[in-house]
Amino acid sequence: MPRAAVIPKPNSAVEIRQVPEPQLEPDSALFEVELSEVCGTDVYLQQGRLQGVPYPLVPGHVSIGHLSKIRGSIRDVDGRELREGDRVTFLDVHRTCNACWYCLVAKATTRCPHRKVYGITYGLDDGLCGGWAEQIYLKPGTRCILCVSDAETFMAGGCALPTALHAVERGGISIADTVLVLGSGPVGISSIILALMRGALRVFCIGAPDLRLDVASEVGAAGVLNFEKHDERGRLEWLLERTGGRGADVTIEATGAPDAVVQAMRFTRDAGRVVVVGQYTDHGPVSSRAAFNPHLDLNKKQLDVRGCWGSDFSHFYRAVQIVSDPNRSKPWAALQSKLSHYKLAQANEALADVAAGRVLKALIHPR
């Protein structure tokens, strides 16, 4: 019986349980987990801050491993039949229905109401559906991709990479643009790398703590600022000095703080673009201190402000292509030494370290 780390209910510590080995439906598979990750969302899951989440649940939405057992047939997007033993990863989003108004008319598949996410909206009652476990049950229709990448390089991107890729795509960066990234967590770091990959001339980062800003600089940020040491006015002046007084062409907000969304508008030049990708958890409304002024902050500036929710298969697929390429994957490969490693039994410690911002990225090794 495989072991799994389970959040039994909101605000409870993770427990290690042994769960029955899944019975395979036709066209499903067993996936042996090599590595899974701990992301900020997992902290909120443990704190019970996400709505509509079924407890008990096994966290871990992005994982890498291999297929140990296949019943029926599983194919990748190129139509290749996958085999037992294949090294793969899979899109955490499952059951995007291709039958509803959002999928078929709006073509906004990230807003399909039937979407389920492994490790987040699939609970233990749905099967062994999270990565903090020795095995994951891959239900029929799970989108698998063969993955030749080094496991730790892949996990250095983790779930942040496709999310950042979606954000960067939404940002409409042009060659030689100046980009500002707010936030220096995993999504921020991958956004810096990808904005440069997209042709930005310079990428600035405002975040914290210094440990993470050092990483931002290492992956190529042209300048970093610790927001804890400067008030909003100071941050704005810092940025304007570096952008000819205009602000960034594109700002990617990846912070989690509601007020940062308003500041992102102010940091962006007129007729620029702001991508809001950091508001995955409900932290309540913008404060009155933020003083969001639609005339000055939005209308007169002729800004585009673009919400960006999750990612779809195309982002995940492109992320895997990148991270599997010896050259393109280098920035993430260089992050390997910054990763923190935990066994299944250390899941609570991993959560605590991520919650405190003590680590750049925590990985779970279930075996």
Q: Which CB atom, from 298 or from 352, has the smaller least distance to a second copy?
A: 298
Binding span for a second copy by CB under 8 A among 25-33, 93-101, 203-211, 358-366:
93-101
233 belongs to the binding site for a second copy (CB under 8 A) = no
Dump the DSSP string for 98-150: SSSHHHHTS--GGG-TT-EETTTTS-GGG-S-SSSBSEEEE-TT--EEE--S-
CB of 356 to a second copy, least distance (A): 22
Site residues (CB under 8 A) for a second copy, limited to 9-68: none
Q: How far apart are CA 303 and CA 268, in angstroms?
A: 8
Position 111 contacts a second copy (CB under 8 A): yes
**Token pair of 103, please?**
């999928």
Q: Could you tell me the smallest distance in angstroms from the CB atom of residue 286 to a second copy? A: 5
What is the crossing angle of helices 160-171 and 186-197, to 10°? 50
Contact pick of 100, 146, 236, 355 for a second copy (by CB under 8 A): 100
- Min. distance of Cβ 161 from a second copy in angstroms? 11
Which of 7-15, 39-47, 104-112, 330-338 is the region at the interface with a second copy (rule: CB under 8 A)? 104-112
Site for a second copy in 282-311 (CB under 8 A): 282-286, 288, 291-296, 298-309
Minimum distance between the CB of residue 153 and a second copy, rounded to whole angstroms? 16
> What is the total count of residues that contact a second copy (CB under 8 A)?
79
Pairing of strands 93-94, 178-182: unpaired
Longest dimension (CA), the chain: 62
Residue 217 found at the interface with a second copy (CB under 8 A): no
Least gap, CB of 36 to a second copy (angstroms): 23
The Cα–Cα gap between 249 and 84 comes to 47
CA nearest to 197, candidates 321, 46, 347: 321
CA atoms within 13 A on the CB side of 335: 34
Three-state DSSP at 312 gives coil
Interaction between residue 73 and a second copy (CB under 8 A): no
Quick check: 140 binds a second copy (CB under 8 A)? Answer: no
Which residues within the stretch 328-347 sit at the binding site for a second copy (CB under 8 A)? 328
Q: Is 149 left (phi over 0), alpha (psi -120 to 50) or beta?
A: beta
Under a CB-based contact definition with an 8 Å cutoff, are residues 3 and 16 in contact? Answer: yes
Q: Which two tokens mark 30?
A: 């067993």
Q: For residues 265-284, which are near a second copy according to CB under 8 A?
A: 269-272, 276-284
Which residues does residue 94 pair with via DSSP β-bridges, in sequence order?
Answer: 116
| Of residues 334 and 352, the one with the C-beta less far from a second copy | 334
Nearest to a second copy of 59, 278 (CB atom) = 278
238 versus 313: smaller Cβ distance to a second copy: 313
